[in-house]
Amino acid sequence: MYHSKIAGLGFYVPDNIVTNDDLSKVMDTNDAWIQERTGIQERRHIIRNEDTTTSMGVKAAKIAIERSGIMKDDVDFIIFATLSPDYYFPGPGVLVQRDLGLKPIGALDVRNQCSGFVYAISVADQYIKTGMYKNILVIGSEVHSTGLDMTDRGRGVSVIFGDGAGAAVLSREEDLSKGILSTHLHSEGQHAEELVLKAPGMGGRWVTDIMKDKDPNDDSYYPYMNGQFVFKNAVVRFSEVIHEGLQANNLQVSDIDMLIPHQANLRISQYIQKKFELSDNQVFSNIQKYGNTTAASIPIALTEAWEQGKIKSGDIVVLAAFGSGFTWGSVIIKW
C-alpha cells in the first residue's frame, strides 16, 4: 500500500477582469451589495473563442506537470472535474489527453460541481494507493460566464461565479507518514433542486424543446440557487466533514496549519473560521479576486497558498468543499 502526494500544482485564470462596478452596468446591483453578501470584489470571464474549459485546464496542467518534476509521458491517468465541459459529450478529459499530446492513457470526467476537485482527488488517491497508477493529473476547470443570466432576473447567482482552472499532479509516496492521509465524501440528493441547472437535460427540458419554443421567460437553462438554504446546509456540512477527517487521523482542530475551503462565499469561510477559532494565517481565501469557480476554486486557492509560502513541508492541510447535489467532502494532507 502506498500514499499519494501532491507533487505539482498550477492554475490559470483569464486576463479579463470583471469588477462589481462592471456588473452594475448590465444589471441592478452595486459593489457594496455584492461584497456584503459574498465578499467578492471581482472575477475573471473568458473572452469567447480565446479560452474554453479544456484550454484553461491544459494551461494549468502544463504548470503543474512542470513543477512536479515528471515528464508528461509519466502521467498514467487523467481526472477532470467540471460542470461546464466544452461539449455535452465527450468530456474534457480526453481533450486534455489530445491537447497535451499524452500517451493513450485513461481519462475520467467527474461531475460533482463544487465538490468536484475533492471527489477527483479522492479517486486519484485510491488509484495510487492500490498501486494501479503512479502519476495522475487532476484538473478542475470551469467556464461559467457564457451560461449566466446577466440581467436583473439572474443577478443573485450571476454575480457569484467566475472562470478559471487549477491542476495537481498526484504521485506515489512511499513514506506513509506523508501525503494524503484520508478523504471523506458525502451526498444528499433530496436537495438536488436547491442548486441546479435543469436544462438542457434528458429528463426535462431538451435542447430541441428550448430551440422550438423560443420562450423568453424560460429560465430553465440558467442556474438556480436557493441561497439561504444552501448557506445553512453548507456551514453544517463543512463543519461535519472537517471534523470527520480530523477524527479519522487522530488530529485536533489546533493541528490544522492551512484550511483551503471551496471558495463559495466569503461569509461561509468566515463562519467556519470563527467556529473553528482559526487565525487568518490558517485559512486561505481568494474568492475576492476570482469569485466562485466551482471545481476550480480549491486547486486555484491551494496553488496560490503554496506559491505564497503559506504551506510548507510537514503542515497539516485540509481541503473541504460543499455544493450542488448536495455533495460535500474533505481531504486531509500531511504536506
pLDDT of res. 211: 66
Q: Under CATH, to which class is 180-334 assigned?
A: alpha beta
C-alpha cell at 6: 501532491
Q: Does residue 184 carry a catalytic annotation?
A: no
Q: Which of 272, 270, 287 is nearest to 34 (CA)?
A: 287
pLDDT tens digit sequence for 254-312: 999 999 999 999 999 999 999 999 999 999 999 999 999 999 999 999 999 999 999 99
- Choosing from 112, 135, 286, 292, the catalytic residue is 292
pLDDT tens digit sequence for 46-91: 999 999 999 999 999 999 999 999 999 999 999 999 999 999 899 9
**What letter does residue 47 receive in the DSSP assignment?**
P
pLDDT tens digit sequence for 186-219: 999 999 899 898 867 666 666 667 667 677 776 6
- For 3-176, the fitting CATH number among 3.40.47.10, 3.40.50.12660, 3.60.130.10, 3.40.50.10710 is 3.40.47.10
Strands (E), the chain: 3-12, 17-19, 42-44, 77-81, 106-110, 135-142, 164-173, 179-187, 195-196, 224-225, 258-261, 316-323, 327-334
- Choosing from 114, 135, 233, 286, the catalytic residue is 114
Residue spans per domain, the chain: 3-176, 180-334
CA 243, 245, 247, 253 torsion-angle sign: negative
Q: How many CB atoms lie within 10 A of CB 6?
A: 26
- Choosing from 3, 262, 265, 286, the catalytic residue is 262
| The model scores a pTM over 0.85 | yes
Q: Does residue 226 carry a catalytic annotation?
A: no
pLDDT of res. 200: 74
Q: Does residue 292 carry a catalytic annotation?
A: yes
